[in-house]
Structure 1
Amino acid sequence: MICFIVLTGIGWFYPANFIDIKIIEYIQQHQNFALTQLSQILSRLGGLPGTLILVAALFIYSLYQKRFDHSVLVVISFMLTVSVAWVVKWLVNRPRPDLDLSIVKTYGSSFPSAHSAYAMLIACLLIFVVLNNQLGWKRYSILLWALIMGWSRVNLGVHYPSDVLAGWVLAALIVLGLKIIQDRRIDKTA
């Protein structure tokens, strides 16, 4: 929670800070056609429509598995992540990086990155719902999705790195918080 508060302060009071700018410059220097194409594909997949499809699939999977606790976790996590991300975007109102790339359409302000929040939401839900919180390489490969999505947002020049980090933290806090609450409630009823 402290990390998200600090990131919000950075986004609010220091929108174009030195660290964010240097990371963007570094990524932009190493940009090429293939990476830009990959970033554009991820931009289309990782938006709200793509996330909604993945969340619906996880919801149906949970129902099929007769894990109604997972179904509830999926729906509430999705609704909270989307609504909190957009409320924070509206409150902080951080301008997007001043890069004239115009490669993809953007909506709303820069902070936090909704694409990054959605990617972390999906990653956390896959870990809890599909993997049942198993350890191992599968967990890390799922988290790689969130990392690549965040990188793509900076590569396209539509977010600062701190926007991406804030999106990840926000979604992880929501899903993990709900999972802890849910596990405690299940333990009390058992």
Structure 2
Amino acid sequence: MTGRSAPVVLPSSLRVWLGMVAALAGLVVVVLGVRYADDSKPGMVDARIGAAVDGVGPPWRHVALATDFLGEPGGAAMLVVATVTGCLLLRRPRAAVLVVVGVGMAVGTATLLKSLVGRTIHDGNLSYPSGHTAFLTALALVVALLATGRLGLGRTAGTSLVLAAALVAGAAMGWAQVALGAHYPTDVLGGWCTALAVIPATAWLVDRTADAVLRKRR
């Protein structure tokens, strides 16, 4: 507890490393956004990866559709409610706040960037960055941060767990989006990096705000 009202969501041992990851991820989001601004065609990398992944048939298409549902409003709401409930049952109110605020910020940032970048796919649908990928990656990051705190993991193990969770979630949703033809691979990378940039910063803000409230009450 370290004398706080509730356990922190961003352990001090992870702040520097995740801060560096967040900065690098933010840079990638900006670079890709500038590169593909107002574009409507796949890049060279997009074309190569898309040719290998796009248009999968059964049973993998069913898997892709099920994964895609997790990023739709109905599926996303169920995941968020379940995760918030789990945080509260584990007596981790800050983590519950981070689920709502952090995931909301990640999706909101992706939505804003879509309008700013203006990249399109399939009859003018805004595509960069992938909001589905940003959502699932952000949720995985929050769960991994919660697990890191619960297990008392150190810097190396904690950072590895957080990044591994983000990689698995981002890869799963990213594959589904490309396989279904909903996004270019670089859209997926942008969504993944959006979550990596937003969640550590939001977690730090949640801790700072909670600590400030606690000091005022005392």
Moved more, 149-158 or 83-92: 83-92
Matches of residues 39-188 of structure 1 in structure 2 within 5 Å? 39-96=64-121, 108-132=125-149, 134=153, 135=157, 140=164, 143-183=167-207
> How far, CA to CA, are the matches of 1:22 and 1:116 in structure 2?
20
Deviation at 1:130, TM superposition (A): 4.0
Moved more, 73-82 or 177-186: 177-186
Residue 48 of structure 2 is matched in structure 1 by 22
Residues 66/50 of structure 1: CA separation in 2 closer, same or farther (3 Å cut): same
> How far, CA to CA, are the matches of 1:76 and 1:182 in structure 2?
9
Deviation at 1:115, TM superposition (A): 0.9
> How far, CA to CA, are the matches of 1:122 and 1:182 in structure 2?
15
> How far, CA to CA, are the matches of 1:83 and 1:186 in structure 2?
22
1:93-135 per-residue CA deviation (whole Å, 9 max, x = no partner) reads 321158xxxxxxxx95111111111110111011012443743
> How far, CA to CA, are the matches of 2:77 and 2:70 in structure 1?
10
Deviation at 1:186, TM superposition (A): 6.6
> How far, CA to CA, are the matches of 2:35 and 2:179 in structure 1?
20
Deviation at 1:76, TM superposition (A): 1.0
SS in 2 for 1:66: coil
> How far, CA to CA, are the matches of 1:123 and 1:148 in structure 2?
11
**Contact preservation (8 Å) 2:38, 2:119:** no
Identity %: 27
TM-score (norm 2): 0.71
Unaligned runs of 5+ in 2: 1-25
One-letter amino acid matched to 1:176: P
> How far, CA to CA, are the matches of 2:30 and 2:192 in structure 1?
13
One-letter amino acid matched to 1:64: L
**Contact preservation (8 Å) 1:47, 1:118:** no
Instruction: Answer yes or no: is 1:10 the counterpart of 2:27.
Output: no
Deviation at 1:51, TM superposition (A): 1.6
> How far, CA to CA, are the matches of 1:108 and 1:183 in structure 2?
37
> How far, CA to CA, are the matches of 1:142 and 1:22 in structure 2?
24
**Contact preservation (8 Å) 1:97, 1:159:** no
Unaligned runs of 5+ in 1: 99-106
SS in 1 for 2:143: helix
**Contact preservation (8 Å) 1:80, 1:174:** yes
> How far, CA to CA, are the matches of 2:120 and 2:72 in structure 1?
19
Deviation at 1:55, TM superposition (A): 1.3
- The number of residue pairs the alignment matches comes to 181
1:12-39 per-residue CA deviation (whole Å, 9 max, x = no partner) reads 155422221121112238x332222211
**Contact preservation (8 Å) 1:58, 1:129:** no
For the pair shown, the structure with the greater C-alpha radius of gyration is 2
